[in-house]
Amino acid sequence: MTALTLVSHGLCPYVQRAAIALLEKGIAFERITIDLDDKPDWFKALSPLGKVPLLQVRRPGAPDAVLFESSVICEYIEETQPEPALHPADPLHKARHRGWMEFGSTILADLWGYETAKDRDVLEAKRAALAAKFARVEAELGAGPFFAGETFSLVDAVYAPIFRYFDVFDRIAETHVFDGLERVTAWRQALATRPSVLAAAPCDYADRLMAFLERHDAALLRLPNAGGRGA
């Protein structure tokens, strides 16, 4: 039995960022995937917010501890498993990284609106908001391949699950979110082949996301050039 259990959902990007951090550290962990539409009682008892991820930490001679909120989980992983470091050592640089992690969370909020939009006007408004935010990220990036150059960090763990959405969206229709954003595009490509990123989501992630879009009658699926599952 491992000391850590990550309670997950197959599509949750916040779960993925915690999984990436664990995988980058080389920490063995168990993973339990639940259905958020039919939450088990044991999960409701453990999760104050009713959300994933949860990290259960087994402690010899003491009750298991439960951590919630992905940012808290990632910080705990970083503090208890210092190598390889996923945060800069300099306090100012670390604070800036945390700020861009929060910025990534605001992108996820717009992504939710984009993927669940049921009419074209809302879809376009969310697409424009996403493009504007990635333009801000473009201005922050350097030579790459990662957010902080050669070193993979928790900022990368936050944005990799965001880019994963677009791997599926691009099979449906052109979003034009990354048009003209060369550095963001290169960053996206570098993260897509990172072993921890590849292992952070289930192998049927694309099918799960397509099913989610269909259940929500997503306007994205009805764009003129949308190809659906056969794209």
pLDDT in tens, the chain (231 residues): 579 999 999 999 999 999 999 999 999 999 999 999 999 999 999 999 999 999 999 999 999 999 999 999 999 999 999 899 999 999 999 999 999 999 999 999 999 999 999 999 999 999 999 999 999 999 999 999 999 999 999 999 999 999 999 999 999 999 999 999 999 999 999 999 999 999 999 999 999 999 999 999 999 999 987 764 433
Of 12, 4, 21, 1, which is closest to residue 202 (Cα–Cα)?
12
d(CA 222, CA 207): 18
Provide the token pair at 19: 């999984």
CATH topology (fold) of 4-80: Glutaredoxin (3.40.30)
Provide the token pair at 41: 């009682």
Q: Comparing 4-80 with 91-230, is the CATH topology the same?
A: no
Is residue 93 a contact partner of residue 140, using CB atoms and an 8 Å limit? no
Class of domain 91-230: mainly alpha
Provide the token pair at 202: 């289930």
Global pTM reads 0.95
Q: Where are the domains of the chain?
A: 4-80, 91-230
Q: Which of 4, 6, 7, 12 is catalytic?
A: 12
74 is catalytic: no
d(CA 40, CA 44): 7
